[in-house]
Structures are given as C-alpha cells and as structure tokens.
Amino acid sequence: MSEALLHVSDLEAAYGDVKVLHGIDFTVNVGDISVVLGANGAGKTTTLRAICGQVHTSGSIAFNGAEISQEATADIVRRGIAHVPQGRGTFPELTVTDNLEAGAFVRKDPEINADIDKWFEVFPVLGERPDQLAGSLSGGEQQMLAVARAMMSRPRLLLLDEPSLGLAPIIIEDLFGRLAAINADEGMTMLIVEQNANLALAVASHAYVLEAGTIAISGEPEVLSGDEAVRRAYLGY
C-alpha cells in the first residue's frame, strides 16, 4: 500500500446558493495518476478548484498530512500543488520563457534556468520559440506550455483539468503520452479530470467517476472499463 499524498474527505463546495459537491471522498497516492471522470456539470472542475482554494468549501483536504482546505491559493501552491486549469491557463501576453519563469514564481533556488532548458527539451515545440507570445501559440502548444509552466514550480502533485479539451486527437494522444512519461520519469503524482475516458483510463492507476456532485464509482481503471454498466453510462461504448 503506497502512501497517500492527497486525501479528500466529505468535501462540499458551492457557488453562491448552488451546491456543486455533496461530500466527496477520495485519495491520491504518491506516484499515481488518478483520474476523475464524469459528465458535464458533475463537479469535476469544481473538485480541482476546491483543492486549490479557489471556491468556498467545507470538509477536509489533507495534502501531505497537512490540512489545506482553508488556505489561500498562493499558499497551497507553495505547498507543492500545481494546477493546469481548463482552457490552458497560460499568460497570453507573456513570452514562452516568461510563462515558464512565472511558473517558477514560488521557487527561490538557482536552478530555474536549468529547469527551463529541461522543459524546452521535453517539449521541443516550446524550445523553438522561447520569445513568442503565449497567446500566439496553437491550442496544443499552449497546453504543452501550461503543463511545463505547472511543472516549473516543482510540484509534488499536478492537477490537470480536461487537458484534452479542444485539441485534435493526434495531439491529445501525444500529450497523454508525455504525461505518462513525466509520471514515469519524475515520479510525478497527477490528478487528471477528463471526459475522454478511454485515454485517461489508459494512463491511470486509479479512477473515480463523479456524478452530480458525488463519487458514484471508484476503482482500478481495468475494473471500471470492464464494468458493463460503467461503460454504458460513462464511457459511451
């Protein structure tokens, strides 16, 4: 049994009067890729926003043993959680290099430039255009930049909100391949929210299905994709 990095219990979240999460529990173990599946409006994005302190919540979010549910976003990031929000989340008016430097904002060590070079090697499309404005990159390139930007903070947990959104299938496949590689090479723990269930389950070590603000099913990805009911309801085949 591996060690839990993130443990969420009885998490509730609301936008004004509209309650979105109705007490969910889940765990992300060190080194795992956990995947949260679910339809539109199930509360996937809200779950990630709750972990990052961007919505008002009740319940407990324990990261690395510390309770973070009442902390400010900037402090949560300093604890080692990086978030790639839905719809990229780069700084469009900043250059590629500046985006990566901004990603390392919480760091004070001297290896920032070395890290930038490292991510330029991992994502050569970014290395080819360090001075281009992020807003002028293509959708796939921006998503790569967003991932690299998040990794620049040297997080212990990487949150990804629908990384496949709006990308061509070939790009998505490439992206998930790279995510799996980052997980394998760096031992990076990830929590990925996705609608593209097949692709996400292929890289996942654990999966949750979110339905109307509650966890409906959880288990090994093989079990989930094998389950007839799950397949029909959530995976669409």
Among 55, 102, 180, 235, binds other proteins (CB under 8 A): 102
Give least dist CB 103 to other proteins, A. Answer: 5
Q: Is residue 166 at the binding interface for other proteins, with CB under 8 A as the rule?
A: no
Per the DSSP assignment, residues forming a β-bridge with 159 are: 83, 191
Nearest to 87 by CA among 153, 158, 139: 139
Q: Give the count of beta carbons closer than 10 Å to the beta carbon of residue 207.
A: 26
Q: CB within 8 A of 67, min separation 6: which ones?
A: 60, 61
Provide the token pair at 40: 């539109």
Nearest to 234 by CA among 197, 191, 187, 188: 197
| 174 contributes a contact to other proteins by CB under 8 A | no
Task: Compute the least distance from the CB of residue 136 to other proteins, in Å.
Answer: 11
Residue 105 near other proteins by CB under 8 A: yes
Least spacing, CB of residue 197 vs other proteins, in Å: 25
Q: Which two tokens stand for residue 105?
A: 């904002």
CB of 72 to other proteins, least distance (A): 8
* Binding residues for other proteins (CB under 8 A): 52, 54, 72-74, 77-78, 82-83, 85, 89-94, 98, 101-103, 105-106, 135, 149-150, 152-153
